[in-house]
Structures are given as structure tokens and as C-alpha cells.
Amino acid sequence: MAEIHRELKRVEEEVLDHEQAKVEIWKYVFGYVEMAVVKSAIELGIAETIETHGNSITLSELASTLGCSPSHLHRIMRFLIHRGIFKQTNTSQSASPAYSQTPLSRLLMRSGQVHSMAAFLLLESSPPMLAPWHGLSARIRSAGSSPFEAANGEDVWSYASANPAHSRLINEAMACNARVAVSAIVERGKDVFNGIRTVVDVGGGTGTALGMLVKAFPWIRGINFDLPHVVCDATESEGVENFGGDMFDSVPKADAVFIMWVLHDWGDEECIQILKKCKEAIPKDKGKVIIVEAVIEEEDEKKDKLSDVRLMLDMVMMAHTSTGKERTLKEWEYVLGQVGFSRRTIRPIDAVQSIIEAFP
């Protein structure tokens, strides 16, 4: 009898799994729709318009302000409300639906929100960044050029250098990431910067991260280091000097090197070259390299709420770079060991990345 019950339970579970699969598959068939609709919401400025208007805004008011078709806008808002991005509110003054903001919709505002991710979404949904995904399977079959290079004719850095508008989009997206990650660093890892007087931010973009660090830790003098065409757009910030160069050639001297979301763009060989230059730039007795990168959890490790994001980022590296990848703890230990660091510490923070401190 027990054997029969087990078999019936197994069959029941298989039926349930099959029914669930028939529902789940639609997420993959129309997975692109969410990105496209959210992108349109950013481009239309829906979140900013609601925020400016006040607590809520009716469909007719929103359509009039944006210059949109009310029927089309209603359908867009219905989709976004269903996903919890905006809220629908009832108003006694009008029969027209009314909408209000949520914490998620405020992250779609292009200005006025410290943790806005609008620029990041606009970058990842731009034609040059979307086109490589069509060549992902070809990349998996061979070790040739990256899908980005195959789709756009040159690698992502050459393309950015030749296309100023795309370069600005990258810089704005990286500034988005910097504001989120550095806020987490300041909150959870402030002791990392104790006793440090000078910091060079390698691949610091337009200086957002370093500007935030110097403001949080005013005893630090910062050097924002990136390619010349990048730092020429960097903002002037008190306590920060902008310096153009190539991290594969040399890194400016400082007590500490800060390098965030750079190494995942490169394979192990290039990472080792970059980190050797970073190691040469710091004092042997008290220097350190502060790496801010994702650490992929192994299968038997406890996953956190951002584990899935890290795995998606690994797919982004495969699509957009030739050798880049997100690394497990063992893979980070291999790279750091090849550079010759004597020891390291790894600290999770409330972000996609962790803080890895590497000591000479």
C-alpha cells in the first residue's frame, strides 16, 4: 500500500510540474517585453511626471502632460501596475484612473534619486548592447570574437571611444552602479579606508565613486584614473584629481588602489596583468588593493537575494566581452594568488558586489 501511495504522489507531482511548466514557459517567450515597456516608461518620463504632480495623477492629466494617446498610455500603465512598478489609486474627483509612485518606480527616474537605475537600463536596452544577444549561442560553440564585436564590428571599449553618445551612456550607467555600491560600502565597510590618505580609483569613469568616497572619508585624497576619452568627461570634485592613462601600462602611486567592476570585464590573464600594476602602485608595507566585484556562490553555498543577478551578469560578460566573467571565490583566489598577494579578506555588502581586500 505504501508503494502505491508513493507512486501516486510521484505522478501527482509530475502533473503539477508539467502544468507549472506550461505557465512558466511564457516568461521566456515574452521575456523581452518587460525591458521594452520599462524602457518606454523611462523615455516618456512617467515617474518624473507623477513625482512632480504630487501624490497621484489621473490618466487624462498624465496623458495631457506627456502628450500621449490616453488609450495607449492606459495599456502601458495597466502592464506596469500589474508588475507593481506603479500603483493605481481611486479618486472621487474623476472617473479617470489615477496613478501614484512606488519605491520601484522612483528607481526609474533619471534625476533626483540617488539610487536611480534608469541610465543602467537605458544602456543595457540600447541597440549596440542588445544586438550581441542574438549571437550568444555562436559564442558558446566557439572561442572566437565576442558577440558584441561580431554584432558591432569592434569591441565594447573601441566602440565607446568612437561613439561619444554611447560612451556617455556607459558612463551614466556606471555612475548608477557606483552610487548604489559605494553607498553600501560606506555603510558596511567604512573601516576599509581607515589609515588611508591617498586612493587611486582604477577605471573610475567620470569620478562618481571616488567623489562619494572622498565626501564620506574626507581625510582621503583621490586620483580618478581611466582612459583619456573617459576622464575628459569627468566632473571636478574637491579632493579628487582626474588622470588619464592605461591600466595595462601603469597605475598612479597611492596608499590604496580602488578597482570596482573592472576586472569582471577581463579574463584571468588580463586580470593578473592589471592587478600586478595595481600592486606595483601601492606601498609594500601598508598598501592594499580594494576590489569591488561580484563573488558567485558555489552550488553548496547559501544564496542571497542578489545571487540571480550575479548569474545574469555572468551572461552579460559572455555577450559583451571576449574574456570577461563573474568569478567564484576559488577563481578569485587563483587570480590573487598568481599576482602574489600575501593575504586577502572578502566581505559581503548589501549590493551585487563584495569587498575584496588584497595585501602585498
Per residue in 256-294, pLDDT (tens digit) is 999 999 999 999 999 999 999 999 999 999 999 999 999
Residues in contact with 228: Cβ distance below 8 Å, sequence separation at least 6, in sequence order: 244, 245
Q: What is the largest CA-CA distance in the chain?
A: 78
On whether the CB atoms of residues 193 and 258 are closer than 8 A, the answer is no
Give the pLDDT confidence score for residue 95 in this predicted structure: 72
Q: For strand 288-293 and strand 256-260, is the pairing parallel, antiparallel, or unpaired?
A: parallel
On whether the CB atoms of residues 320 and 132 are closer than 8 A, the answer is yes
DSSP code per residue over 284-301: TTT-EEEEEE-EEPPTTS
Residues in contact with 72: Cβ distance below 8 Å, sequence separation at least 6, in sequence order: none
Give the pLDDT confidence score for residue 278 in this predicted structure: 98
Decide if 333 is catalytic. no
CA distance 12 to 9: 5
Give the pLDDT confidence score for residue 91 in this predicted structure: 62
Fill in the amino acid letter for 164. P
Residue 191: DSSP 8-state: G
Give the pLDDT confidence score for residue 18 in this predicted structure: 81
Residues belonging to the chain = 360
Give the pLDDT confidence score for residue 115 in this predicted structure: 85
Decide if 264 is catalytic. yes
Give the pLDDT confidence score for residue 15 in this predicted structure: 65
Low-confidence ranges of the chain (pLDDT < 50): none
Helices (H) and strands (E) in the chain, counts: 17, 12
DSSP code per residue over 23-53: HHHHHHHTHHHHHHHHHHHHHHTHHHHHHHH
Angle at the Cα of 49 (from 173 to 116), degrees rounded to 5?
25
Helix (H, G, I), strand (E, B) or coil at 345: strand
Give the pLDDT confidence score for residue 236 in this predicted structure: 82
**In terms of Cα–Cα distance, which of 328, 326, 262 is closest to 275?**
262
Q: State the catalytic residue, choosing from 61, 264, 270, 299.
A: 264
Give the pLDDT confidence score for residue 262 in this predicted structure: 97
Listed in order, strand segments (DSSP E) in 14-164 are 57-58, 87-89, 98-100
**In terms of Cα–Cα distance, which of 183, 171, 165, 287 is closest to 224?**
171
Q: State the catalytic residue, choosing from 48, 149, 241, 293.
A: 293
Give the pLDDT confidence score for residue 280 in this predicted structure: 97
Q: CA separation (Å) from 311 to 33, 115, 265, 325, 348? A: 21, 22, 14, 10, 16
Residue 237: DSSP 8-state: B
Residues in contact with 287: Cβ distance below 8 Å, sequence separation at least 6, in sequence order: 254, 255, 256, 257, 281, 359, 360
